[in-house]
Amino acid sequence: MYVCNCNGIRARDVHFAIEAGATRPKDIFASQGCKAQCAKCVCEMREMIQEAQASYALAAE
């Protein structure tokens, strides 16, 4: 599934970037060597980052 249609960034790419330390959508774009175009995907990326951080916090307990 594509998260960012403009740059062809898939959900798995976002997950890999988050696992590699991305904490902002800007970091995800940088990991893919691109920049936000229309920015419609930024909210979804933020949600994915927050979900990952929440699950990391639970795993650390």
Q: Write out the two tokens for 57.
A: 């916090």
Instruction: Please give the helix or strand (H or E) that residue 2 lies within, else none.
Output: strand 2-4
- Domains belonging to the chain, first-starting first, are 2-60 (1.10.10)
The DSSP H or E segment spanning 37 is: none
Task: Determine the Cα–Cα distance for residues 34 and 57; give it in Å rounded to an integer.
Answer: 29
Note down pLDDT in tens along the chain; length 61 residues: 999 999 999 999 999 999 999 999 999 999 999 999 999 999 999 999 999 999 988 888 7
Quote the CA–CA distance of 31 and 55 in Å, as a whole number. Answer: 22
* pTM for the model: 0.91
